[in-house]
Amino acid sequence: MKKLKNYLAVGVGLAALVALVVLTDPPAAQSVAPLPVSVTNTPNVHVNNSAIPVSQSGSWHVGVNNFPASLPVTQSGTWNVGLTGSPTVTVGNPSNNPVLIKDILNPAINAFQSKATVLIFGGNTSASGSPLDTQASGTRWVIETVAVNCSIPAGQKILYTSVTTWQSEISSIHYDYHIPVSFQGGDGASDYFSGNAATRLYSDVSQGAVGLNFARSDSTGSGGCTFGVSGYTVPAP
């Protein structure tokens, strides 16, 4: 009887040990295959761990957490940068930092002055010349003032003084504009005449230089007239 009790005690102990082992040893973890996710609206998606297979439908708004200080970018193919259509562009023009512009028609910017003398010699009653400064190619002179001072032998008269201009729109056509002069006095050997006129004359270098002309009443002796012109230039049409 005593032996039977001992055997029962041993059996109960073994059973308790087996139960303890079974309860404290968890089953091995099983791997789970990734599940597909379908998005059918327009959610905001934030991914902070490993990539998850996603099937997208519609528009996505993707946010990036912990954006790096510098993001490497590599170009692939040819990039084309331009404006499509005819967009309206507004230029900022504050008073403390204005946009610089140039008014090419402003007389003060493209002003000019030129002076030249046309001489006359014995045996001639008229003289002409084009001794003014060379006009820049592709420009038009706008002559606003013409001044004339003449000196001829005493007793003679100035019959006329004139300025000849050319226009590129009408090839080889020139115009003579007379400048009135008046007697100013003499010194016994020569008499002096002068005149000044406000004008608006146009002359294009492509057709010819500005011409200066005058005539006197007698062909005896020599003399001359000095012409001064001033105005501004504009691009020739």
Provide the domain limits for residue 171. Answer: 115-235
Asked whether 59 and 42 are in contact (CB, 8 A), the reply is: yes
Looking up residue 158, the CATH number of its domain turns out to be: 2.60.120
Q: What is the DSSP letter of 153?
A: E
**Does any domain span residue 137?**
yes
Provide the number of structural domains found in the chain: 1
**Does any domain span residue 175?**
yes
pLDDT of residue 143: 93
pLDDT of residue 145: 96
Regarding beta strands 211-216 and 158-166, do their DSSP bridges make them parallel or antiparallel, or are they unpaired? antiparallel
**Does any domain span residue 127?**
yes
Q: Which of 144, 148, 160 is closest to 202 using CA atoms?
A: 144
* Alpha helical stretches, state H, 82-154: none
**Does any domain span residue 15?**
no
**Does any domain span residue 51?**
no
Angle, CA of 32, 34 and 37, to the nearest 5°: 140
Q: Tens digit of pLDDT per residue, the chain (237 long)?
A: 555 555 555 555 656 555 555 555 555 555 555 656 565 555 555 555 555 666 667 776 666 666 666 667 777 778 777 777 788 888 888 888 888 776 666 666 788 899 999 999 999 999 999 888 777 778 888 999 999 999 999 999 999 999 999 876 555 677 899 999 999 999 999 999 999 999 999 888 766 778 999 999 999 999 999 999 999 988 887
